[in-house]
Amino acid sequence: MKRIAFDLCQAGYCEHPEVVTIKGGSFKSCQFPSLFGVIEHPDAGVLLYDTGYHPLYAEQTSRFPEGLYPRLMPAYLEPDQTAKEQLQRRGVAAHDVTGIVISHFHGDHVAGLRDFPRAKFYALKSAFANVDGKSRWRNLLNGYLPGLLPEDFRERVVWIDEVAAPRPQAAGLTRPTYDLFGDGALLAVELAGHKSGQVGLRLQDERRGDIFLIADAAWSRRAVRELRPPQGLALAIMDDRRTYHQVLRELHELEKRNPELRLVPSHCVETYREFQAEAAP
């Protein structure tokens, strides 16, 4: 398996009570970072895993009924905190990003897609089919804002499950798994439940070792460790509660079997602080 370089970044955050994300949590409002991954592949170049928030998100939620979304879950982003701005500070231009793996189509995961004009988009076909062509009210319930997608999205998207080689259980789960580039470096794993067709990514980082990006299969590593699913609104709007619980349990067992494995939920404060501490001089 090829080793690649990976880093974890934050593009904004949202606020809501902890109890929404983990059973038995506090009713106090907490900040949940919107994380995205930067992947340097020796052959495929610079790729992203999601994008986090973007100013376009605020624009797209400024009218009714889309405006109900930020009322339920307020989101915040500093102007220089977009994925594009952060990459530029690393010396990576937007047009140098070759691909973006889309975990699912919630606004906090795809808001920055338009900033990367040359990137291919990698997603599971079922994830897009679940949101495409629906009414505005259905989009609201799905957390989907079609205006965030580039006009040429359909021309640039690559359906992982149509082009990538299946690798059953290669990532340690029973979920459908695909070898994204055929070299074992990036294993795309279907983690449905939260949303249909949600995809995680397992990889070997050259410095940090075994990493598994699990998107919103859990909001925190603590939820996986303690097997404590979300409740209330977060549970009510899931596509498939039974599958969500199955995936959470599989991740729990996988982590127990592989203590060196680092799970990376897309909104986990604990995980992001660890990455920040490791990057500090």
pLDDT in tens, the chain (281 residues): 677 999 999 999 998 877 777 777 777 878 899 999 999 999 999 999 999 999 999 999 999 998 888 888 889 999 899 999 999 999 999 999 999 999 999 999 999 999 999 999 999 999 999 999 999 999 888 889 999 999 999 999 999 999 999 998 888 899 999 999 999 999 999 999 999 999 999 999 988 999 999 999 999 999 999 999 887 667 667 888 899 999 999 999 999 999 999 999 999 999 999 999 887 66
Q: Measured between alpha carbons, how far is 264 from 211 in angstroms, rounded to an integer?
A: 7
Q: Measured between alpha carbons, how far is 26 from 22 in angstroms, rounded to an integer?
A: 9
- Tokens representing 195 are 């949303």
φ/ψ of 60, rounded to 5, equals -75, -15
HSE-up of residue 113 (Cα within 13 Å, Cβ side): 29
- Tokens representing 264 are 């990376």
**CATH for 5-279, among 3.60.15.10, 3.30.1360.200, 3.40.30.10, 1.10.287.3510?**
3.60.15.10
> Contact at 8 Å (CB) between 244 and 229?
yes
Residues belonging to the chain: 281
Q: Measured between alpha carbons, how far is 87 from 154 in angstroms, rounded to an integer?
A: 25
Residue 161, C-beta contacts closer than 8 angstroms, at least 6 positions apart: 124, 125, 126, 176, 178, 190
> Contact at 8 Å (CB) between 250 and 191?
no
- Tokens representing 39 are 């992947």
> DSSP assignment of the chain, as one string?
---BEEEEEEEEEEEEEGGGTSTT--SSEEEEEEEEEEEEETTTEEEEE-----HHHHHHTSSTTTTHHHHHS-EE--GGGSHHHHHHHTT--GGGEEEEE-S---HHHHTTGGG-TT-EEEE-HHHHHTTTT--HHHHHHHT--GGGS-TTHHHHEEEHHHHSEE-TTTTSSSS-EEESSSSSSEEEEE--SSSTT-EEEEEEETTTEEEEEEETS-S-HHHHHTT----THHHHT-S-HHHHHHHHHHHHHHHHH-TT-EEEETT-HHHHHHHHHHH--
β-bridge mates for residue 133, sequence order: none
β-bridge mates for residue 1, sequence order: none
Q: Measured between alpha carbons, how far is 242 from 133 in angstroms, rounded to an integer?
A: 26
Domain boundaries of the chain, sorted by first residue: 5-279
pTM: 0.95
